[in-house]
Amino acid sequence: MKLSVVATLYQSERYINEFHARASTVARRLVGDEYEIVLINDGSPDDSLNRAIKLTEDDVHVSVVDLSRNFGHHKAMMTGLAHARGERVFLIDSDLEEEPEWLSNFSAQMDQEACDVVYGVQERRKGKWFERWSGQWFYYLLKNLTGFALPQNVVTARLMTKRYVEALLMHREREVFMAGLWHITGFAQSSQGVKKHSMSETTYTFRRKMSILVNSVTSFSNAPLVSIFYIGVSISLFSSFYIAYLIAQRLFWATPLTGWTSVMASIWLLGGMVISFIGVVGIYLAKIFSETKQRPYTIVRHIYGRNQG
């Protein structure tokens, strides 16, 4: 098997037939019949699964991995990569915002540069101003909080060698952040500028982006825990100087101490900081709790397709 095309399905019933036709055309042009199309149904609430099963009946190159429920985009992608058998694996979304025809240019660049990964980068981030602005801040905060200089505006679409995919699958954490895993896996990676289409409203809302940011920072960096230590030391030093000032004021100037407002403000400030710091520690403890249980990050209900032995 020379090529595997892997795509996830979630509310994809409008696009799946066209995606299959276009992906099949470009794959056949590159490797003949030595390809497979692996579709991962991530608990899609629409008719995506039935339409995908129909494709397996008409095309022996198609297989469908049906997950028992919705586990999330990133975990579904990892499951799809685990079921890919090709020497090269093309990962892409099935909603046609990313063009299956990119595979040709990605393959040519991989041959020319002898690299292990060719991934797409948007020349200009799609969406309205808020989507673009929140995306820029996401990468800015991620870089400053984790130290990872991840490529900005990357898309899902990427062509990978088998050895890179095998190395990527060695990561077994339950809280999956794909952009971070793509980065830390290493190997020779090259980018290619692409233009991503806007077929529908993004499902990555600001709230979801913030959730991903917290997950990614706490998964790849201990910077929040270290910062708590330094903030605590700074407050202790400031308090020591202030106590010394109050003692000197009382001994040498005998000035009556006033200012209940400042006292209460300090109590509220320090109380809020203590609670927030406990929350940060709690996030890390929750991750440890999740990892120690070793639950599978996805569960496969059934695999459809005649090319499955």
Per-residue pLDDT tens digits of the chain, which is 309 residues long: 899 999 999 988 899 999 999 999 999 999 999 999 999 999 888 889 999 999 998 889 999 999 999 988 888 999 999 999 999 999 999 888 888 999 999 999 999 999 999 999 887 655 555 556 655 666 666 666 666 666 677 888 999 999 999 999 988 777 777 777 888 888 999 988 888 876 555 555 656 666 666 666 666 666 676 777 777 777 767 766 776 776 676 677 665 556 655 665 577 667 767 777 776 777 777 667 666 767 788 889 999 986 544
List CB contacts of 102: < 8 A, sequence separation 6 or more.
Answer: 92, 120, 157, 192, 194
Q: Is 2 helix (H, G, I), strand (E, B) or coil?
A: coil
Give the HSE-up count for residue 20: Cα atoms under 13 Å, Cβ half-sphere: 23
> pTM value?
0.72
Which DSSP category does 222 fall into?
Answer: -
The Cα–Cα gap between 26 and 32 comes to 9
Domains and CATH numbers, the chain: 3-204+296-304 (3.90.550.10), 223-293 (no CATH)
List CB contacts of 40: < 8 A, sequence separation 6 or more.
Answer: 6, 7, 8, 9, 64, 65, 67, 76, 77, 79, 80, 83
Q: Which of 38, 89, 28, 7 is nearest to 305 (CA)?
A: 38
The Cα–Cα gap between 167 and 160 comes to 11
Q: Which of 37, 45, 40 is nearest to 13 (CA)?
A: 45
Name the region of 153 (left: φ>0; alpha: ψ -120 to 50; beta: rest).
left
pLDDT score for 126: 54
